Structure 1
């Protein structure tokens, strides 16, 4: 489907993770061993906050060029320093390849990105779009299932309660999908941020979700791998959540369990159950 990463910690150049690390996001756009599709060449997106505070307004760059081919990806990701950023490489399903369909999506201070699918979305699109609050609907720019889900979650209170807002949106999608005879409507991993916290979800209706991992803390990694020089380029609070690991170092990344939200702030990670009820 897609590959994505979310970073929070001391300000860094996004290129350290997008381009320079062994299994970087650009590398995954060409060859994604754990992805549903090996190649993710239908666009790239980068969104970053100037500082890691709630209500900070993120900037967004999107391109329909493959990440490995777009020189702007390298130029921009090396010119920026940011404490919190999202990056995404896209493998399109039904919607067209256009900038408005590239992740991350933004509304006010909030960012959202997704790897996965709402199954048989063309059959559900109209009903789900009409469920978006009228005052939010005019901000929907593209045609993807992901953007509709984001604005449906905003409608269900994501700004006040990110976990509950997404949960209520997913339950509505499942209800509409099953009414249309689709037994497992939702599949994916999802990332949300308000500028100070990242919420990363692993969930699917059939409990067989796309992969999701988060990094070990940098202090532990330096103890395990004192010979790996690139680890010296990260601060002690640097943490990343990814669709698949950015390196093959053992114990550098830990898998997020099924039906779980990993919540990341400057104090580190914590896990909570997410839609685990039958």
Structure 2
């Protein structure tokens, strides 16, 4: 399962959170502690906001720990809202187009989890995505398909409603197909101003999700970014959280 982190607050150089903590995301890519998969070596990606409305992105298929370009970028890019993701593939090929975070206009999205027996529902999910959106689909992951479907379901107007509607559609389709493997979904989304975190699973094993609020920033991640874990709060399963520097608004998902 993938590992990821998100930051919002006073602008910082990315290296401060990607490399410096004793259980940083780069460390987790080699030695994850709260995942079925210890090593996440199937590529990585960055997404960051600056003066422009659309976020910058960088994707690579090398393991995160071995790319000198990542070290240089993290040392020189400064941002007040950024995403980072290290990938452990659940079936789709190792390619830049399959590396998170995914972007569309001002939105960023990244995900940890999978749709059980995805190949049995892929055709139908793809056809729910309007043609003008589908033309922006670059890879073959279930993650990107979910993101495109959320946009189609009104992510711009009402993020919580779009998330609930999308998860329900997929669950209903899986039941219709008789799929018993779980749908596991822990994700992060941002429009450049706000961030939404989601922790969900159709079984009792939702992928881990933590957050920690500091004085002038908040960090969200698959795992605490320090080995002690002190001060990190676990997000409850089955919840959407609008998280920011001075707020943490959690609501239950309505999917059944």
Contact kept? 1:213, 1:256, Cα under 8 Å: yes
In our comparison, the structure showing a higher alpha carbon Rg is 1
Structure 1 segments unaligned to the other structure (5+ residues): 219-235
Which whole-Å CA distance do the structure 1 matches of 2:245 and 2:38 have between them?
33
Which whole-Å CA distance do the structure 2 matches of 1:195 and 1:144 have between them?
23
Corresponding residue of 1:29:
29
113, 116, 120: which one aligns with 2:113: 116
What is the DSSP-based 3-state SS (H/G/I as helix, E as strand, rest coil) of the residue aligned with 1:72?
helix
Change (3 A) 1:192 1:250: closer
Which whole-Å CA distance do the structure 2 matches of 1:87 and 1:167 have between them?
24
Which whole-Å CA distance do the structure 2 matches of 1:250 and 1:131 have between them?
41
* TM value normalised by structure 2: 0.96
208, 220, 240: which one aligns with 2:219: 240
1:39-188 mapped onto 2 (5 Å cutoff): 39-51=39-51, 56-188=53-185
What is the DSSP-based 3-state SS (H/G/I as helix, E as strand, rest coil) of the residue aligned with 1:103?
coil
Which whole-Å CA distance do the structure 1 matches of 2:74 and 2:159 have between them?
28
Structure 2 segments unaligned to the other structure (5+ residues): none
What is the DSSP-based 3-state SS (H/G/I as helix, E as strand, rest coil) of the residue aligned with 1:9?
strand
Contact kept? 2:64, 2:86, Cα under 8 Å: yes
236, 240, 243: which one aligns with 1:261: 240
| 1:270 Cα deviation after fit | 2.0
What is the DSSP-based 3-state SS (H/G/I as helix, E as strand, rest coil) of the residue aligned with 1:65?
coil
Contact kept? 2:218, 2:245, Cα under 8 Å: no
Q: Tell me if 1:10 matches 2:7.
A: no
| 1:266 Cα deviation after fit | 3.7
243-252 or 95-104: bigger deviation: 243-252
Corresponding residue of 1:203:
200
179-188 or 163-172: bigger deviation: 179-188
Consecutive aligned runs of 4 or more in structure 1 exceeding 4 Å deviation: none
Question: What is the number of residues matched between the two proteins?
Answer: 256
Question: What is the alpha-carbon root mean square deviation over aligned residues?
Answer: 1.4
| 1:271 Cα deviation after fit | 1.5
